[in-house]
A and B are shown apart, each in its own frame.
Chain A
């Protein structure tokens, strides 16, 4: 009895914890932001409407937190039980008060001084489970941090930086595991998705995104090219708790722009893979760009929505691909349902009934250079789209760009760039961009807003009939979700390169967006 009372008291006085059930039921607590995409399906829509299309014109900066960290600030904050957690690009994590921006603690990963980083110092955010935060580091480690004081609990190497591995992605917590991926697709790595025990940091399973010879898919690689076949997992996948399935996007094959040495479809590069989160076993896969030679990886957001498809309610997966096509799959089995271009593309005469591109002639990179659209960075990229169930519109940031693709046989040297050509071509063509609202089932455009340059920022939808988005000129903007009318904007002074979030504390709604090395948080005047 006394023990039970004691335990109850301890339980009451402990700070609340992020549990798997809480993340599954994120919609029931719209005031918090528990996981990278805001929800397991990456829909990025919040039922918060204190800030709405009527009053957003009064939105103003509530606080600014200066990280002092240079480089692209790509974090997506978590907001849990009255504390905000963010990451910096260089292996830093910080806990802040989400109402004032005041700092509680700051953690810094001790990076080896001699580490050569494949993919720079960039980080997209944290995962949280229990009272622990999980951070990937530029040298491809995964660390656990105590959310109460910023102390490091364990440090596990996912891949060796000497072999070209790095990490920039935000991990996710699924059940009792932390799922993480790696960067290095331009450095001749062999990619994988990993699961780790949150208590110990011990690896629970690994799925190689490039199969070994003799494994299924191993025959889609010429000779031993699979050993340095790329297939990075540098963005965060989505999860369906009912189907108990992880959907992970896989990167480009290596060398990027030279395909002769890796003839074949090069599975599972440029694919979405459906994995069992308990075992890491492959349930199905769908390859968007077989034998890619334009760096059109599939590391875009696989959004999960249940919508009527041709009159029948179905569990769908939507992926706006770097290659210029917008795909709809049945996520129970990976069946291809639809794929239509959402931007000018010059390389395919559409897709066949299985979703495989019907290639045009002479679209390959060459020694002389071959101009194709979309360009190397794609018609969209890792920036998150969003979907509003009230307007039934999908909100996508589109990059309008073409490139001249060059190709030359590369020599593989461990840990060195492995592109298959030195650089992408320089052209005078201006990159442009736009946000487009469209019906994801019919692809009918509802509205658009044009940017001067190709964007790298994601979008956020709220039940306040608002879409928040940003551009390369540094404007943070709010649009009427239905009409696309621009309702509010602020020049933040630096290019915007991540997606905004919203949260509510003590009855007040906030919107947060990183810009430069500052975290900006907005609210209505009190």
Chain B
């Protein structure tokens, strides 16, 4: 409730961009940001930009510098006026966007679902769990709820390139799966489920290397309550583990 009041207040007092600048910021947004944050800013592979809008200067800073420790790169190529138009467009989206999806589940129960399903066998929260799959320490602030739910039920719908799977037919006749970290015409670098790093040289220790077309994560068909609770738990994971990294990157210890 407090949130929506703040939200309304922000709407009232945030300066509206001059009409003629909207298309300019929109073009910049669509070509640079929409791929991860969605056409309307509701998020996807990147966080929701409109549920907790940031001040214009903060948006500009993030665009210019990126967010260290995340997949948000720095976009250094903008002229100052383009950057301003872009930041204003993001705020414009916040003003016109539909409300974010409500979280209905019980986070405490969701935590039990997380444990029961063995999510930590592949994912890490803080220091707990495995480095095999994407880290979830602050996934609640990094991804919108609809994306989290989709990632649980149909993970193959969106596989970020850094977690693409690969299947290696080894020289001794085994099939090994892992995360394709890097590759070239002669080798592939793989993170195995036991968290070990391994390079396969094609023709030596690998007969064939095939890129997986589906996610390494299996789809989870959960009872609705379990899914809601798990999503609710994941949205609470907002511990700002990377802010320390960000400060280090800026030289502040």
| Interface positions of A (Cβ within 8 A of B) | 367-369, 404, 406-408, 416-417, 421-428, 430, 449-452, 471, 473-475, 489, 491
Contacts and interface: CB of A to CB of B under 8 A. Distances in A.
A489 B31 contact: no
A425 B31 contact: yes
Given A367-B23, A428-B161, A422 B184 contact: no
Contacts of A423: 28, 31-32, 75, 77
A451 to B, nearest CB: 6
Contacts of B13: none
Contacts of A471: 184-185
B185 A408 contact: no
14 contacts: A367-B23, A367-B26, A368-B30, A404-B31, A408-B23, A417-B79, A421-B27, A421-B31, A422-B31, A426-B31, A426-B35, A452-B183, A475-B184, A489-B186
Nearest to A472: B184
| Residue of B26, B31, B186 with highest tally of chain A CB at under 10 A | B31
A450 B185 contact: yes
Given A368-B30, A427-B35, A473 B185 contact: yes
B185 A452 contact: yes
Interface residues of B, number: 21
Interface string B17-47: 0000001101110111001100000000000
B185 A406 contact: no
Nearest to A471: B185
A369 B30 contact: yes
A427 B24 CA distance: 21
B82 interface: yes
B78 interface: yes
Interface in B43-100: 75, 77-79, 82, 86
Given A451-B185, A452-B185, A489-B186, A367 B27 contact: yes
Given A367-B27, A473-B184, A475-B185, 20 more contacts: A367-B23, A367-B26, A368-B30, A369-B30, A406-B27, A406-B30, A406-B31, A421-B31, A422-B28, A422-B32, A423-B28, A423-B31, A425-B31, A430-B161, A449-B185, A450-B185, A452-B185, A473-B185, A475-B184, A475-B186
A452 B79 contact: no
A352 B77 CA distance: 39
Contacts of A451: 185
Contacts of B28: 422-423
A452 B23 contact: no
Lowest 8 CB-CB distances: which A-B pairs, in order? Answer: A473-B184, A408-B27, A406-B31, A422-B28, A426-B35, A452-B184, A425-B31, A423-B31
A489 B183 CA distance: 16
A422 B36 CA distance: 17
A274 B47 CA distance: 53
Contacts of A425: 31, 35
Nearest to B35: A426
A424 B31 contact: yes
A502 to B, nearest CB: 23
Contacts, number: 60
Contacts of A404: 31
Nearest to A451: B185
A422 B27 contact: yes
Contacts of A489: 186
Contacts of A491: 184
Contacts of A367: 23, 26-27, 30
A468 to B, nearest CB: 15
B88 to A, nearest CB: 14
Residue in A416, A423, A474 with the greatest tally of chain B CB atoms within 10 Å: A423
Most buried by A among B26, B77, B86, B185: B185
A43 to B, nearest CB: 27
A367 B31 CA distance: 9
Contacts of B86: 422
Contacts of A475: 184-186
A451 B185 CA distance: 5
Contacts of B35: 425-428
B34 to A, nearest CB: 8
Interface in B228-251: none
B27 A416 contact: no
B78 A422 contact: yes
A416 B79 contact: yes
A411 to B, nearest CB: 9
B221 to A, nearest CB: 26
A367 B75 CA distance: 20
Contacts of B78: 422
A31 B26 CA distance: 57
Most interface-central of B23, B27, B161, B184 (chain A CB within 10 A): B27
Contacts of A406: 27, 30-31
Contacts of A368: 30
A462 to B, nearest CB: 22
A216 B86 CA distance: 41
Nearest to B188: A452
B197 to A, nearest CB: 18
A258 to B, nearest CB: 10
Interface centre among B30, B36, B82, B186 (most CB of A within 10 A): B30
Nearest to B75: A423
A430 B186 CA distance: 17
A421 B26 CA distance: 10
The winner among A408, A425, A475 for most chain B CB atoms within 10 A is: A408
Interface string B169-193: 0000000000000011110000000
Nearest to A489: B186
Nearest to B25: A422
Contacts of B77: 417, 422-423
B67 to A, nearest CB: 16
A427 B28 CA distance: 15
A417 B28 CA distance: 14
Contacts of A408: 23-24, 27
Interface in B101-115: none
